[in-house]
Chain A
Amino acid sequence: MTFFSKKKRKVLFDLFFSFFKIGAFTWGGGYAMLPLIKREIVEKRELMTEEEFIQGLSVAQSMPGAIAINTACFVGRKVCGISGTFFSVLGASIPSFFVIIVFISLYKQYRHLTVFQNFFRGAAPAIVALIGGAVLDIGKSVLNNWMDLLIAIFLFLLIFFFNIHPLWIVLIGGMLGMLRTR
């Protein structure tokens, strides 16, 4: 490869490998990955300062998309421009990609087996509990005023009874936020 200088290649490899490692060994989605990304990028490899990381994170978290991918995007961009973004995102998504492909191949082959079906049957209420816990967790820290709570209930009822598209819930929530004078 002659596109990049030796130093740049090393940085790109660092980015790719950091995100690959975190993507492969972190269960529980984006939020679980953040502290690991910070340790790897800021503390271990010193690719950016803590201040830069925290600032970027506050923006990346408020944007749509997977939080881990957004973080990979801005870290890559800051450290090494477009090629940095490319290698970071690639590193962050490749492990999930292959693990899921292995999972689904097994699943396609064996899903008719009662063992598999019973496993999923047992896991389903745990998924509900997991989401319930996350709702309470975020709800506690976020809905600290009556207005937010009322809007959340209103939006919930809107989907529940009228089956409106989740996309509208995002837009209506945002619009109501803009109308408020707080």
Chain B
Amino acid sequence: MIYLQLFLAFIQIGFFSFGGGLAALPLIEKVVVENHHWLGNGEFIELVTISELSPGPIGINSATFTGFKVGGIFGSFIATIAFCLPSVLLVYLVFHFIFYYKKNIFVKKFLLGLRPSVIALMSIAGFSIAEKGISDWFSVVVGIVIFIFIYRKKTDPILLLFLAGISGLVWYRG
């Protein structure tokens, strides 16, 4: 039952994606590419690119994308709902016990301990995309140039992403 599988997969992703969309990418890749084979490796990079180029949270975008690929409109509906559900449940639970939660030293330490995890997960996401996505010297140059622009924070990353795509279009056309 594909819809149930989608539901369970994205509820799991929703529960364990700490630190925002980029940190959740390895988990999404594990579940969507390795466990279920819903997307191929090249398609995963396309998912990330399309998610970045579209407005809205990356988690929602990848849930909708995968859901649609696997089960059409209804599939993307199920995946998106499943991804949002843990947020709704946890916000209700946590805000109900907010005073207990905020004072609890173990909860605090657990959350502080997640910071290195987020860094590790984001680096892995970068690495696994680099493995496939950086294949010749042109892509190395594009990567370095874009990185410099991003690092100096003067240009909008989405515009850079778009320009990089255009550069690929021109360079690889032959």
Contact = CB atoms under 8 A, between A and B. Distances in A.
Contact of A125 (B12, B65, B134): B134
A29 B118 CA distance: 16
Nearest to B163: A126
Nearest to A68: B57
Output the residue of A122, A167, A177 with the most chain B CB within 10 A. Answer: A122
Interface string B39-83: 000000110111111111111110011001100010011001001
Interface residues of B, number: 100
A1 interface: no
Q: Interface residues of A toward B: which range?
A: 35 or more
A120 B57 contact: no
Contact of A151 (B45, B48, B87, B116): B116
Given A65-B90, A124-B133, A160 B127 contact: yes
Contacts of B106: 178
Given A29-B57, A122-B142, A177-B113, A166 B119 contact: no
15 contacts: A28-B52, A30-B21, A92-B56, A100-B76, A107-B46, A118-B171, A119-B166, A119-B169, A125-B139, A129-B150, A129-B160, A133-B151, A152-B119, A167-B27, A173-B120
Interface of A: 23-31, 33, 56, 59-60, 62-70, 73-74, 77, 85, 89, 92-93, 95-97, 99-101, 103-104, 107, 111, 114-115, 117-136, 138-139, 142-143, 148-149, 151-153, 155-156, 158-160, 165-167, 169-170, 172-178, 180
Interface of B: 12, 14-18, 20-22, 25-27, 30, 45-46, 48-61, 64-65, 68-69, 73, 76-77, 80, 83-84, 86-88, 90-92, 94-95, 98, 101-102, 106, 109-127, 129-130, 132-134, 139-140, 142-144, 146-147, 150-151, 156-158, 160-169, 171-173
